[in-house]
Amino acid sequence: MTNAGIVELGRHADYTRPQPFAGPDHPMRLLTRATAFGDPWTDQDAARVAQVFDDLAPSWSTDHVDPLKAAPLLDAIDRGGVPTSGRWIELGSGTGAGCRALDGRVDEHISFDLSFQMLAHAPDRVPRVQADSSQLPLADDTADVVLMINMLLFPGEVDRILRPDGAVVWINTLGDQTPIHLPPGDVAEALPGDWAGCSAHAGTGFWVVLRRFAAD
């Protein structure tokens, strides 16, 4: 598991440094790293995370959907070369921040989340599926883009559902202050095989777009 290079682009003009929020010892930070790098994801983990986000769902759209948080996704499309055609699979879609930002921009968008209540508070203009992203109800090679905004990384499933020439879009809307956080290099390292891409800061966060790297 290696990364073949991530090009860091200049910061978007709207970039605003996030306020301190979640440090390296935050429980979700620890869980994110453990899950990405091979620690078992248990039924107890799934139940605990689902309960946390079910409880947060009623206020999530009000507190966590705004232009600064949408900015990394829009910049990734603009400067990261992410295709808007094809099928976008969004994992950990929550109450639909990604859906709102992508509205009318992509051909097909399907949202997956572990939390039923998060999905219940999301817009109904795209298909919403309650599922554990460690075991997705999807065939192999079914996604042109896998989008994760402040989402746990299950590397094997992302690799399995992504088409050979597809793109992974990883976004932390509060940068390194995001509770569910991995820096770009660690995302590439956690994914099976060799990956290359680009990254930049926008809004209050950052994005990275990765594709499988094939040596000449």
pLDDT in tens, the chain (216 residues): 344 599 999 999 999 999 999 889 999 999 999 999 999 999 999 999 999 999 999 888 776 667 777 899 999 999 999 999 999 999 999 999 899 899 989 999 999 999 999 999 998 999 999 999 999 999 999 999 999 999 999 999 999 999 999 999 999 999 999 999 999 999 999 999 999 999 999 999 999 999 998 755
Q: Which residue has tokens 């817009």?
A: 123
* Cα–Cα distance measured from residue 170 to residue 181, given in angstroms and rounded to the nearest whole number: 10
pLDDT at 215: 57
Query: What angle do the packed helices 43-64 and 27-36 form, to 10 degrees?
Result: 120
Say what the pTM is.
Answer: 0.95
Strand order in the sheet with 143-149: 2-8, 194-202, 205-212, 162-172, 143-149, 87-91, 108-113, 128-130
pLDDT at 68: 75
* Cα–Cα distance measured from residue 154 to residue 92, given in angstroms and rounded to the nearest whole number: 11
* Cα–Cα distance measured from residue 22 to residue 184, given in angstroms and rounded to the nearest whole number: 17
> 150 CB contacts (<8 Å, ≥6 apart)?
92, 94, 171, 172, 173, 174, 178, 179, 180
| DSSP 8-state assignment for residue 12 | P
* Cα–Cα distance measured from residue 35 to residue 43, given in angstroms and rounded to the nearest whole number: 13
Residues 167, 1, 170, CA angle at the centre, nearest 5°? 35
Q: From residue 120, how far is each of 46, 96, 115, 134, 180 by CA, in Å?
A: 18, 10, 9, 21, 22
For each of the domains in the chain, give its residue range(s) and CATH number, in order of start.
2-212 (3.40.50.150)
